[in-house]
Amino acid sequence: MAPKKTKVQVLADLGLASFQSGENAKAQGFFEQALALADAEPGNPAHASVLMNFAVAKGVAGDMAAAVPLLERALAIRETEVAAESFGAEHWRTVLEPLQNLMVVHSKLGQPEKAAVYMQRAGELESKAKKAAASMTEALSAKITELEASGESRCVEVKE
């Protein structure tokens, strides 16, 4: 049986369904309700996604300026989540999404200098992710070589 959805998840799902069916004003209402609940629950796993979906709905409605603070909050949450994890190549994508959205929004607002700042941050993040992936690959290769040299057949725990 699937785990029961939280009110935040249900409202976010309703917002997404409304948005996808072209009912943007209705979607924004659901996202706004979901955001109010997520704001009251620090660490809510849907928080950043609700912020980003609300920002997209605002942007589609033509309110790019209102999208900026929502995306900045989503970025801050995602950066905090990634900092709490061991930084691996798969984690950078969660931070890259709000960075890319901020690039687009600032470009549409006629603020290319701000868009460029987010573009530079995205490039730096991608570089970090590639280094982390290379380091992990190197560590795994070394462990495999060590195990093959020992001639023993065993399971090992791989830590990032």
Per-domain boundaries in the chain:
7-150
Question: Which pLDDT belongs to residue 112?
Answer: 93
Q: pTM for this structure?
A: 0.76
CA angle 94-96-137, nearest 5°?
Answer: 70
Task: Please name the residue that has the structure tokens 């935040």.
Answer: 8
Q: How far apart are CA 21 and CA 39, in angstroms?
A: 26
Do 119 and 103 contact (CB within 8 A), yes or no?
Answer: yes
Contacts (Cβ under 8 Å, ≥6 apart) of 78: 48, 94, 95, 97, 98
What is the pLDDT confidence band of residue 120, given thresholds at 50, 70 and 90? very high
| Domain at 7-150, CATH class | mainly alpha
pLDDT of 126 above 60: yes
pLDDT tens-digit readout, 12-71:
999 999 999 999 999 999 999 999 999 999 889 999 999 999 999 999 999 999 999 999
Question: Which pLDDT belongs to residue 125?
Answer: 79
pLDDT of 93 above 80: no
Amino acid code (one letter) for 112: P
Question: Which pLDDT belongs to residue 144?
Answer: 78
